[in-house]
Amino acid sequence: MSRARNRLAAAVAVGASAALVLTMGSSAVAKPKESLPQDLAKAVSADKINRHLVAFQRFADQTGGNRAASTEGYNRSAEYIARKLDEEGFTVTRQEFPFIYDETITESLTSGGNDYDVIRMSYSPSAPEGGVTAPLAEVPVDDTPGCEASDYDGVDVDGKIALIKRGACTFFDKQKFAGQAGAVGAIVYNNGPGPVNGTLGAPGQIPTAGLTQEQGEELVSMAGQDATFDIQGVTEDRTTYNVIAETKTGRKDNVVMAGAHLDSVAAGPGINDNGSGSAALLQTALALGGKPKVENAVRFSWWSAEELGLVGSEYYVEQLSFEQQLDISMYLNFDMIASPNAGYFVYDGDDSDGIGAGPGPYGSAAIEEQFASYIEDNGTPTEGTDFTGRSDYGPFIEVGIPSGGLFTGAEVIMTEAQAGKWDGEAGVAYDKCYHQACDTLGNVNYEALDVNADAMAATIGTYALSTEDVNNVEPGAKKSKQQVAAQRSGERVHISHAHTNQHGHDTDHDACNRDSR
């Protein structure tokens, strides 16, 4: 990745809810202060952010152990944020939307007297009470394992538990074709190191769970033996809401948008995933204030139901007209920025790493350079991470909005080379408590939190002053929507809101909401 050192002194823009009609033009304010990026970075300390993390931990502790979308733990977290932003003079909106809630109650598989560490996939139907006992059956491995009905030609899975290797298609499709062939359950085992922590994305046909490659291959060697597979869950229609806060100053036709998902998985309090991004974003907003001296308005967003498939951010973007999309100069995403065995990843806006989904929309390369330059100039090396679509930048990229952000890694294993450069632990996941009950205050890397929060604040401050390197809009100049529309017309990137089938390899880092592939 290129690492430009000459940066524009720009800062952040924040806006209102997607449901609102955004006012065109700019708000008259005093001349912006050029030191805003540095001032924000100094004002956003790990100690101040930790106070918010303590609040999130207590909300979870007091309400059943998590902050999942629509739960009391989530609602208390959202109101805590909304109240503080309202007190600082922001325009605050709560954007409600419907979603399908999903929670795992039981997940187990036993065979030959051994227990296997299956992970129920979100939206999987439950097994019959007490589980299902049936023979194990291997689905042949080819370029598209279990992805086509023809994969089951001559393969007897009727009344059996299908063992399917990960790759080439969604988990939903794998269980669908297995179910159509008569399977009573599906186990998708990994095609690389680490567990499969997945989602079907919508209610499925047969009980489905993920498993590590090692344990999956062990079960394949036992094909024909009986196994007892028991997964139970709750799936129901609910309502939740995003929190959107926008500065009252700055031009409304060139908004800088920054977001983080606020919800946790049901398994735990989600203090790194994604209390870390949410708390740092809140402290940045409080440091900026609701009426800052900026060129561009700044819109902060805290998304709900990200862990169930980016539902909140998708809903937000779907409500935007094309004109409202053009009013957003960029989207900056902060998801898991304090992993205990932290990597320092910047979204690969120019696809210089040549991995996965390709480059982001026009302007994403400049955002990458801004983040990477700031972090590296302050002594920490960075690596790129692919725009896989597993976090809330996905819906913005799909409509051509330039995007970027920071990430410190999830369940993928740190390499020897990375451990050397980041003083980490090779052979261990970036976050060994990813999507687990142990994602508590004790799971936070405060050094990583400080590094990334500084970069977050400085970058938001930079773009609040000028977005010229992203979309060619000069400070004080009238924005040409025709020019921006022309840029974006050929820059839409179509990616699924899920991890690619490369997940689990050392070259693949992006992870927050559950995989669907």
Q: Please report, for the domain that includes residue 450, its CATH number.
A: 3.40.630.10
- Least-confidence region, from 29-38, 115-124, 133-142: 29-38
Give yes or no for a contact between 274 and 261, defined as CB atoms under 8 angstroms apart.
yes
HSE toward the beta carbon, residue 388, CA cutoff 13 A = 27
pLDDT at 514 over 80: no
Examine residue 503 and state whether it is found in any structural domain, yes or no: no
pLDDT of residue 390: 84
The model's pLDDT over 30-49, given as tens digits with 9 standing for 90+, comes to 678 899 999 999 999 999 99
Using 50, 70 and 90 to split pLDDT, how confident is the model at 496? very low
Which residue, 177, 201, 236, sits at the end of a domain? 236
Last residue of a domain, one of 180, 212, 236: 236
- DSSP β-bridge partners for residue 233: 104
Whether 489 is in a domain gets the answer: no
Of the candidate ranges 223-227, 382-386, 482-486, the one whose mean pLDDT is the lowest:
482-486
342 and 363 in one domain? Answer: yes
Write b or e for each residue in 188-219: b if 16 or more Cβ atoms lie within 10 A of its Cβ, otherwise e: bbbbbbbbbbbbbbeebbbbbbbbbbebbebb
Residue 22 reports pLDDT greater than 50: no
Average pLDDT, the chain: 90
Give the pLDDT confidence of 174-217 residue by residue, as tens digits: 999 999 999 999 999 999 888 898 889 889 999 999 999 999 99
Examine the fold and report which residue of 193, 210, 236 is the final residue of a domain before the chain moves on: 236
Return the minimum-mean-pLDDT range out of 193-197, 341-345, 457-461.
193-197
**Residue 223 is part of which domain span?**
102-236
Binned at pLDDT 50, 70 and 90, residue 414 comes out as very high
The gap between the terminal CA atoms of the chain, to the nearest Å, is: 27
**How many domains does the structure of the chain reveal?**
2
> What is the domain-level CATH number for residue 166?
3.50.30.30
Considering the domain architecture, whether residues 112 and 231 belong to the same structural domain is answered as yes
Of residues 456 and 356, the one with the higher pLDDT is: 456
Tell me how long the chain is: 517
Q: Distance between CA atoms of 186 and 207, rounded to whole angstroms?
A: 6
Q: What is the pTM of this model?
A: 0.83
Residue 152 lies in a domain: yes
Active-site amino acid positions? 306
Residues 299 and 344 in one domain: yes
Give the whole-number percent of the chain exceeding pLDDT 90. Answer: 81
Residue 4 resides in a domain: no
Residue 29 lies in a domain: no
pLDDT at position 25 over 50? no
